[in-house]
Chain A
Amino acid sequence: MKIEETTSAIVSEFESFDDWMDKYNYLIELGKSLPLIDEKYKVEANLIQGCQSRVWLHAEFDGNLIHFTADSDAVITKGIANLLIRTFSGQPPQEILDSSTEFLKEIGLTEHLSPTRSNGMLSMIKQIKMYALAFKTKAAMGN
């Protein structure tokens, strides 16, 4: 599935919620169902330091696609990580670099997008794009 297809699916899922409580219940559900990260990847080097909750992000490149796994000590943050992984994991580096994260605004999660002291969502996106750039460069050099 292409990135835009996933993001528009996410947007329509969130549109079905009448109030914020349903939305957060869903995010919490997503958080609880986030596929477990291999414990060996929950290391300092994979830590994205947000001020309020800790997020670990691990990336693997199979030569074509990047696969992400993540974890956090806060459930809402895990829910957001789940959305990001669903969107970006299994995509080629260039697709990730070209993609827009506007959908996060559309689903009304802007409060989690504040640049500092928040939950590191912005840092997560930045880190995902950094990996994409790094793997793209690596692949180009390999050729």
Chain B
Amino acid sequence: MSPELKTQITGIDPEKIRIDFPILGRKVHNKPLVYFDNAATTQKPQVVIDALVNYYTGLNSNVHRGVHYLSQQATVAFEEVRQKIQRFINARFCHEIIYTRGCTESINLVAASWGRANIGPGDEILISGMEHHSNIVPWQMLCEEKGAALKVCPLHPDGSLDMQAYSAMLGEKTRMVAITHISNTLGTVNPVKEITRLAHEKGITVLIDGAQALSHMKVDVQDIGCDFYAFSAHKVYGPMGIGGLYGREEVLNAMPPYQGGGEMIKSVTFEKTIYNELPFKFEAGTPNVGDVIGFGAAIEYISNIGLDQIGAWEHELLAYATEKLSADPLVRIIGTAPGKASLISFLIDGIHPYDAGTIIDHMGIAVRTGTHCTQPLMDSLGISGTIRASFAFYNTKQEIDRLIEAIEKVKEFFL
């Protein structure tokens, strides 16, 4: 199928989309920017930037407290976004959505609050070999505190999860399974529904790290069936510093609060504090209202374009890049699981990723080099890092051609 025809079918015209993202028009090192670091953070469309500006120019006030007009309007806008997120990931109730600073804080919230109440000496927490440090360290900290053990499910050589090993590792002592939906380093999309089903058969709680997933595919937390789903706005075209935790109502209700302070209380005396209901029980302090509203604008923006369309175009970009990179005998792609998300980690034979990344940067192309905050994964692969190009729906095939040219330049420099 010709690229043009497929573009028509997917309905994505990246040239039109790009106009919505002002940063994509800038130059870097005197060359038009090619932004291939979308797995680290996505760029923001003008509607998100406008939403932030409009909030601070016309609506700023504290939520849930004031009887005055602005406070009420801000509260309405703030709570409307919670409903948008609820619909976006198909949660049963909007109070199952807890606002956090991002995916990392969401995982820390569960480790601290759920972990405090449910983990004891000798218990096991099962993660996978492809986890981001954010889905390793909070559990390590919990294990150290409680005398529990962290278990790591191995991967197949192509970067997919070894499901046979996974099933076998769900044991008597396993209390929590915490696994990523999409690997930020390998692009592997994990079978989270099956992962959850197998864990639930044994009464084990499941957290899915959704940081990489929400921007690429339709996520349905009820269909997955997981107990927790953690995510960040800034990887879904929204602002930095805001994210969320989905938790099943029953599970959240049974958990102690995370932090203490305003908002999370119903009544306070020096003798006893009565905690607020969901979701406020987990939202101590004045929330990040402006960024919540920006997040709402981002969800609306990508929902209007359609995640099916976005996913289809990104997969086409991935297929194109994979084909081009595979044609180079010196390039080794790290992570070749079937049905990958739109990112490619690779190495160029005989060239350190840092050296390659420095030259690629000077060609105006933003890629990520290094361990991608997955050091244990790098160790298990026996490599010190990779070059990673991660695509969003505003990227084009011409940009991938520029990456291929840059790789040729890298080879001229170092080989």
Contact = CB atoms under 8 A, between A and B. Distances in A.
B414 A52 contact: no
Nearest to A112: B358
B354 A52 contact: yes
Contact of B413 (A24, A51, A73, A117): A24
B413 A28 contact: yes
A127 to B, nearest CB: 18
B355 A20 contact: no
Contacts of B29: 20
Contact of A20 (B362, B369, B370, B385): B362
B358 A24 contact: yes
A54 B359 contact: no
A25 B357 CA distance: 15
Contacts of B116: none
A117 B384 contact: no
B385 A52 contact: yes
A46 to B, nearest CB: 17
A139 interface: no
B371 interface: yes
Contact of B369 (A21, A25, A52, A73): A52
A52 B413 contact: no
Contacts of B414: 28, 75
A20 B409 CA distance: 13
A61 B73 CA distance: 69
Q: Is the interface of B mostly helix, strand, loop or mixed?
A: helix
Contacts of A76: 354-355, 358
A77 B354 contact: yes
B362 A24 contact: yes
B244 interface: no
Interface string A54-73: 10000000000000000001
B345 to A, nearest CB: 14
Nearest to B385: A52
A74 B29 CA distance: 22
Contacts of A74: 352, 354-355
Given A25-B413, A52-B370, A54-B384, A73 B358 contact: no
A20 B29 CA distance: 9
Contacts of A73: 352, 384
Given A20-B29, A52-B370, A52-B385, A119 B359 contact: no
A75 B362 contact: no
A21 B413 CA distance: 9
B370 A51 contact: yes
B243 interface: no
Nearest to B353: A52
Interface in A14-46: 20-21, 24-25, 28
Interface string A109-132: 001000001010000000000000
Contacts of A24: 358-359, 362, 413
Interface in B391-411: none
19 contacts: A20-B362, A24-B358, A24-B359, A24-B413, A25-B413, A28-B414, A51-B370, A51-B371, A52-B385, A53-B354, A74-B355, A75-B355, A75-B414, A76-B354, A76-B355, A76-B358, A111-B358, A111-B361, A119-B354
Given A20-B362, A52-B354, A77-B354, 19 more contacts: A21-B362, A24-B359, A25-B413, A28-B355, A28-B413, A51-B371, A52-B353, A52-B369, A52-B370, A52-B385, A53-B352, A53-B354, A53-B384, A73-B352, A73-B384, A76-B354, A76-B358, A111-B361, A119-B354
Q: Which are the 8 A-B pairs with shortest beta-carbon distances?
A: A74-B352, A52-B354, A74-B354, A53-B354, A52-B370, A74-B355, A76-B355, A75-B355
